[in-house]
């Protein structure tokens, strides 16, 4: 069975500071990993994904994530936070190649950005 753990339900950073959102996964098969962002009362927007190619993945809005198999982690980072980055962020794992490639989501991390 697959699972995702997001450490920290709420992260607060100052504008211009480094953003680090943590995600650890558990999977019995090579995982596909995703980060999605959700703004209030909206659906989810794909930030980036790891699909067994390069371990450092660059996404939209300056975000990137690194797949570390030894640590079973896929942490999301951004060098300099912007006010518009304030949102809820979800890490997800898929067993693509397995049954139906369903997504298993973490509980989410709410990012606040202080001026």
Partner 1 sequence: GAVVSQHPSRVICKSGTSVKIECRSLDFQATTMFWYRQFPKQSLMLMATSNEGSKATYEQGVEKDKFLINHASLTLSTLTVTSAHPEDSSFYICSAREVLQETQYFGPGTRLLVL
Interface ranges with partner 1 (CB under 8 A): 32, 34, 36, 41-46, 49, 51, 90, 94, 96, 100-103, 105-108
Q: Which is nearer to partner 1, 46 or 54 (CB)?
A: 46
Nearest approach, Cβ of residue 80 and partner 1 (Å): 27
CB 84 within 8 A of CB 78: no
Nearest approach, Cβ of residue 101 and partner 1 (Å): 6
Nearest approach, Cβ of residue 111 and partner 1 (Å): 14
Q: How far apart are CA 74 and CA 21, in angstroms?
A: 9
Rounded to the nearest 5°, which phi and psi values hold at 60?
A: -85, 165
- SS3 (DSSP) at 82: coil
């Amino acid at each position: 069975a697959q699972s995702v753990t997001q450490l920290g339900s709420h992260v607060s950073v100052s504008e211009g500071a480094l953003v680090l959102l943590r995600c650890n996964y558990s999977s019995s098969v090579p995982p596909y990993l995703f980060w999605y962002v959700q703004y209030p009362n909206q659906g989810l927007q794909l930030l980036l994904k790891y699909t067994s190619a390069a371990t450092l993945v660059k996404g939209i809005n300056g975000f990137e994530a690194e797949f570390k198999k030894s640590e079973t982690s896929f942490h999301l980072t951004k060098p300099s936070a912007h006010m518009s980055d304030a949102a809820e962020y979800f890490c997800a794992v898929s067993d693509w190649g397995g049954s139906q490639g369903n997504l298993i989501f973490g509980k989410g991390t709410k990012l606040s950005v202080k001026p």
